[in-house]
Chain A
Amino acid sequence: MTTENLTMAKAINEGLRGAMEKDSKVMLIGEDIGKLGGVFRVTDGLQKDFGELRVVDAPLAESGIVGAAVGLAMRGYRPVCEIQFDGFVYPAFDQIVSQVAKQHARSGGVYKMALVIRIPFEGGIGAIEHHSESPESYFAHTAGLRVYSPTNAYDAYWMIQEAIASDDPVIFCEPKSRYWEKAEVDRETPARPATEAQIRRAGSDVTVVTYGASVKTCLRAAQAAEGEGRQLEVIDLRSISPVDYPTLAASVEKTGRVIVVSEAPPVASVAGDIAATLSEMCFYSLRAPIVRVSGYHVPYPPSRIEEEYLPNVDRILDAVDRVMEFES
């Protein structure tokens, strides 16, 4: 029996453990990741088993965590940083965009920035300010970084190991509202490479491009749409940078209609860039303008009204109506 039913949080924990067993250069650094096991318990038990040199409770300083990881990577280590919550990554922003993303190019390929920055991201958990944000567009915008986001336990188990093994730096965005959802994890059959998008549900009417916590929401919307005789094809990006455009374009050529769904605010976003790129690639296949369903151009709102901010089934179905009923 090689499969096990795990939460996504536990699957990442197991993936980290696997990577640490495989490669003694892999180490973890972050706040409260040792004895406490991280605020989401993703690193639970790892300090006990691998010691304080490989699982480091860092001083409370995000720029320090990422900046030190850069130096460790320069010496051949493979650090995995944990940023406690999305909204706390910004003190490290300078290190990420100026050092993590650029050291490889600056050194003519000598320094491998083989590090991972894990960020629990997105909202929907009733949290206070800075605990529900979607910063992925900043990182996707930055050349030199890869941005991955698993959406289920099986993918998470394999994608974290792939991210750690990568010689490129990976911003690993974990949709925290899905941490406790369980799935079968097959430890012998690797998931597809992170850079391949995956069709989670096939359909012929509308291509729904999504990632993160919204994948599940889109699947629920697809189920509801089926009742109205509409077949949505839901594609989970898995890698936000790079985007697997061949898979997306093949779907759009079939459906002719696209909506892009994510929690992030829409302006200068990943979703906007995907819409623009698909317009260029698939212009003659498109039968309606590409529609985005996203958060709004506001700070993430107080949790009591986050439901109205987040893309939900109704808003996705509304977008489906708009692309289906569009007449040129």
Chain B
Amino acid sequence: MDEVPMIQLLNPEGERVSNSEYESSLTPSEILGLYRDMAIIRRLCNEATSLQRQGQLALWAPVQGQEAAQIGAGHALAANDFSFPSYREHGIAWKRGVPPLDWLRLFRGVTMGGWDPVKYRHSNPTIVIGNQALNAVGYAMGIQRDAADEAVMTFFGDGGSSQGDIHEACVFAGVFNAPVVFFIQNNHWAISEPTIRQTRIPLFHRASGYGFPGVRVDGNDVLAVYEVTKRALDNARSGNGPSLIEAFTYRMGAHTTSDDPTRYRLEAELETWRLRDPLERVKSYLVRSHNEQQSTFDDIAAEADQMALDLREGLLSLPDPAPLSMFDHVYAEPHPFIEAGRRELIDLGFGGDA
């Protein structure tokens, strides 16, 4: 399945390659901007991992290796579009403007969400695998009814592709011609299970069974991911219906900080993918083809370091929620069971002045 051709505009050596269907529309400074995005989320993600190791987060789901897939896709989203992530889409959250500290709240155990999904037009993380795709399709059906110039993109992985919810989401999207893009990050591993445990055919081939186009893109090539996603979203917005993108990428780190990949995968495989690193190829390209100076990259690294420091400080000063907050927002309207629970907790001495 690895031999199937995929859309690529920048090869692992950082050389531009031509493609008969797509060409890059990005200027060198835009490409540098995408490099900066990727460098920042990699740095912030590493900071989050060490915060977890230091007991400051309950858990963390690293994004390392998938930066191009997420930054390329996130860059293609228009301001009015809406995105539905799983729990690893820190790069999409970044592109939607969600403050990095908000990505961490869920993993620190101070909230179940983390941010205002409507403000950022980016839904809260979905941990139950695949659920969000159906919600994304429903949102897209609303866009159709409003005749709005918007599209929806939803994210899941090779593991998620096995869920019944994903199948139903694709059926609905196809039947109703909903303006939605299914963005699969095939990162090769669903915790310990390789992609062959989820599918016998390349995942993008599944789209044809639902009656809409599917494409495989080099998920470590930010230029290609951006162009492929942009076209898919444009198609959705202009009434041409859903499509599926399989971004062929790799989970360089563990599934989460609770996972130990050495139990099930080989170092040699990791090494192969290190050579396809999504950041290095952009850097090589900018240096070789646009004479970008090392100082530019140093500045970005310094900026990312500072953001990591800010993230750490912000996290450490994040207060625990008040116990009574567990009763907030369970219902939109007054509810006697909630009032009873609240009174009980107050009687037990957890109420403060409430």
A residues near B (Cβ < 8 Å) are: 31-32, 34-37, 39, 57-61, 63-64, 87-88, 90-91, 126-130, 267, 296-299, 301-306, 308-309, 314-315, 318
Q: In the complex, are the beta carbons of B163 and A315 less than 8 A apart?
A: no
Q: In the complex, are the beta carbons of B109 and A304 less than 8 A apart?
A: yes
Q: Contacts A57-B193, A296-B326 known; A88 to B106 CB distance under 8 Å?
A: no
Complex Cα gap A299–B328 (Å): 10
Shortest beta-carbon distance from A82 to chain B in Å: 13
Shortest beta-carbon distance from A96 to chain B in Å: 14
Q: Contacts A39-B258, A297-B337 known; A61 to B326 CB distance under 8 Å?
A: no
Residues in B with CB closer than 8 Å to A32 are 191-193
Q: A87-B127, A301-B326, A304-B320 are in contact. List 14 more A-B contacts (CB 8 A).
A: A32-B192, A34-B192, A36-B264, A37-B263, A57-B197, A60-B162, A91-B163, A127-B59, A127-B109, A128-B109, A129-B127, A297-B338, A297-B341, A302-B111
Residues in A with CB closer than 8 Å to B127 are 87, 128-130
Shortest beta-carbon distance from A269 to chain B in Å: 12
Shortest beta-carbon distance from B241 to chain A in Å: 26
Complex Cα gap A81–B327 (Å): 34
Residues in A with CB closer than 8 Å to B344 are 296
Interface residue? B164 (CB, 8 A): yes
| Pairs A–B under 8 Å by Cβ, sample size 30 | A31-B193, A32-B191, A37-B263, A60-B159, A60-B160, A60-B162, A60-B163, A60-B198, A91-B165, A127-B59, A128-B58, A128-B127, A129-B106, A129-B127, A296-B344, A297-B340, A298-B327, A298-B338, A302-B112, A303-B58, A303-B109, A304-B109, A304-B320, A305-B323, A305-B325, A306-B109, A308-B323, A308-B326, A309-B326, A318-B348
Q: In the complex, are the beta carbons of B192 and A302 less than 8 A apart?
A: no
Residues in B with CB closer than 8 Å to A315 are 348
Complex Cα gap A298–B325 (Å): 10
Q: In the complex, are the beta carbons of A64 and B162 less than 8 A apart?
A: yes
Q: Contacts A64-B164, A305-B323 known; A57 to B112 CB distance under 8 Å?
A: no
Residues in A with CB closer than 8 Å to B112 are 129, 299, 302
Shortest beta-carbon distance from A35 to chain B in Å: 5
Residues in B with CB closer than 8 Å to A64 are 162, 164
Q: In the complex, are the beta carbons of B107 and A128 less than 8 A apart?
A: yes
Q: In the complex, are the beta carbons of B192 and A57 less than 8 A apart?
A: yes
Residues in B with CB closer than 8 Å to A267 are 337
Residue total for B at the interface (Cβ-Cβ under 8 A): 46
Residues in B with CB closer than 8 Å to A59 are 162, 193, 197-198
Interface residue? B334 (CB, 8 A): no
Q: Contacts A57-B197, A91-B163 known; A314 to B58 CB distance under 8 Å?
A: no
Residues in B with CB closer than 8 Å to A298 are 326-327, 330, 338, 341
Q: In the complex, are the beta carbons of B193 and A304 less than 8 A apart?
A: no
Complex Cα gap A164–B331 (Å): 41
Q: In the complex, are the beta carbons of B320 and A305 less than 8 A apart?
A: yes
Residues in B with CB closer than 8 Å to A302 are 109-112, 321, 326
Complex Cα gap A309–B189 (Å): 35
Q: In the complex, are the beta carbons of B191 and A39 less than 8 A apart?
A: yes
Interface residue? B175 (CB, 8 A): no
Complex Cα gap A95–B111 (Å): 31
Count of A-B contacts judged by CB separation below 8 Å: 117
Complex Cα gap A290–B323 (Å): 26
Residues in A with CB closer than 8 Å to B130 are 91
Task: Mark interface residues in B38-66 (1 if CB within 8 Å of A CB, else 0).
Answer: 00000000000000000000110000000
B105 closest partner in A (C-beta): A302
Residues in A with CB closer than 8 Å to B327 are 296, 298
- State the main secondary structure of chain A at its contact with B: loop
Give the residue of B129, B159, B264, B330 whose beta carbon is less than 8 angstroms from that of A297: B330
Complex Cα gap A306–B190 (Å): 29
Task: Mark interface residues in B127-140 (1 if CB within 8 Å of A CB, else 0).
Answer: 11110000000000
Complex Cα gap A302–B164 (Å): 28
Nearest 7 Cβ contacts at the A-B interface: A303-B109, A36-B192, A59-B162, A308-B323, A60-B159, A296-B341, A301-B326
Give the residue of B160, B258, B263, B326 whose beta carbon is less than 8 angstroms from that of A305: B326
Residues in B with CB closer than 8 Å to A318 are 348
Task: Mark interface residues in B191-212 (1 if CB within 8 Å of A CB, else 0).
Answer: 1110001100000000000000
Q: Which of B198, B326, B338 has the most CB of A within 10 A?
A: B326
Shortest beta-carbon distance from A27 to chain B in Å: 17
Give the residue of A58, A304, A306 whose beta carbon is less than 8 angstroms from that of B108: A304
Shortest beta-carbon distance from A217 to chain B in Å: 15
Q: In the complex, are the beta carbons of B350 and A91 less than 8 A apart?
A: no
Task: Mark interface residues in B12-53 (1 if CB within 8 Å of A CB, else 0).
Answer: 000000000000000000000000000000000000000000
B345 closest partner in A (C-beta): A308
Residues in B with CB closer than 8 Å to A296 are 326-327, 341, 344-345
Residues in A with CB closer than 8 Å to B108 are 304
Residues in B with CB closer than 8 Å to A90 are 128
Q: In the complex, are the beta carbons of B193 and A60 less than 8 A apart?
A: yes
Q: Contacts A35-B192, A297-B341, A305-B326 known; A91 to B164 CB distance under 8 Å?
A: yes
Q: In the complex, are the beta carbons of B326 and A88 less than 8 A apart?
A: no
Q: Contacts A296-B345, A298-B327 known; A126 to B58 CB distance under 8 Å?
A: yes
Q: Which of B191, B193, B345 has the most CB of A within 10 A?
A: B193
Complex Cα gap A265–B259 (Å): 30
Residues in B with CB closer than 8 Å to A127 are 58-59, 109
Could you tell me which residues of chain B, from 232 to 254, have a CB within 8 Å of some CB in chain A? none
Complex Cα gap A298–B198 (Å): 35
